[in-house]
Structure 1
Amino acid sequence: MPDLVLASSSQYRQQQLASLGYRFRIATPDIDERPLPSETPRAIAQRVATMKARVVAQKFPKYVVIGSDQTGVCNGQLLVKPNVFETAQDMLLSFRGQSVCFFTAVSVLDPSGKTLCDVVKTEVQFRDFTKREVNAYLTLDQPWDCAGAIKSEAHGPLLFKSVRSEDPTAIVGLPLIRTSEFLRECGINPLELVDAKTLQNTTEREPE
């Protein structure tokens, strides 16, 4: 089974990938993530994810490399990381009753140079929450490093009314359904690592 590298310093993506049993190294890509003129949020995510994978692949040419990126947009405005409380508060208050779209891209590059890439769209409808609720959420999650100040893996869903996506894991930062599909094409599947003895013990167990 090929070796795997995650081209990301994001602890959230690392936790996601590890949760499915993947064994991988971590490498931080050093790239310019600023959007190009007139570039759409979807295109930004796809380009940056692929750039991350390609830059790290230069250091790990014999590895399968995963790059990922996420952008968000509300009312035509590209979302950024707030960095401080006041900016995060203003962002979230502007989301009340609004629909926010997140575009999460994954790019998988194998040692032959083949690239598999896709972008998953997630639409989040926010409810009409109060300023006090926003302040409480920010105190709990401190989402200064998250685009749009949303930590969907923590208390963020308390502000949601609904979520629409073909991959519910994408909003966290890495679309696991599409990622695992691409990794299987590259010969990496955690389910293949389960040894025969464990499988036998499981299948022979009497149902309760």
Structure 2
Amino acid sequence: MTTRVVSNLKTTTIADVEVVEQPLKDKKRKKVGIMGGTFNPPHLAHLVMAEQVRDQLGLDEVLFIPDYLPPHVDEKHPIRAENRIEMVKLAIEDNPGFKLDLREFERKGKSYSFDTVSELVQQHPENEYYFIIGSDMVDYLPKWYRIDDLVRLVQFVGVRRGTQMEYSKYPVIWVDAPQLDISSTLIRTKVNRKQSIKYLVPSKVADYIKEHHLYER
């Protein structure tokens, strides 16, 4: 399948994706962030990263895109899709700059970022896209599916964590954010051990986890 993004400026062919930039005089150029992940569950570190990047780079909005099937070798066996989607809705509902995007669930199959970004660029060629990742993920970029093509469609943004080296052979914008040592694995472990997750996830997400007995064994 060929993805066309029409333009009067230039035409670039990226393997099976043909990118042609479109006249923009009648379209509003938006700066859109992308937060992908399993969100199993979403927690405050996700929200802090997204908000700091949105604020510091002046993004118009950040799309939270839960993956349908992680492409990683070490699959995380997430809970039911409906639960993850509802928790993301609850986590971001009080921030008008955050939006939920379900295209990876609608597409099914493995959730490759290249496919997702290609769809976004095809649908809205007037927008600029910024893919938000933690600094620990920057080291893994060479392993991403079609990364050399992906970096031509989207700008990666690395959120600093600790004293990790800020180096990548791919273009990355670096952003500072408060360091929160929170992970979805930590949340699941605490719930399983019947420990408090207060102030680690939004209160509505904590209530939802408790109400639906998620992560209990």
TM-score calculated relative to the size of structure 1:
0.30
Larger radius of gyration: 1
TM-score calculated relative to the size of structure 2:
0.29
More helix by share: 1
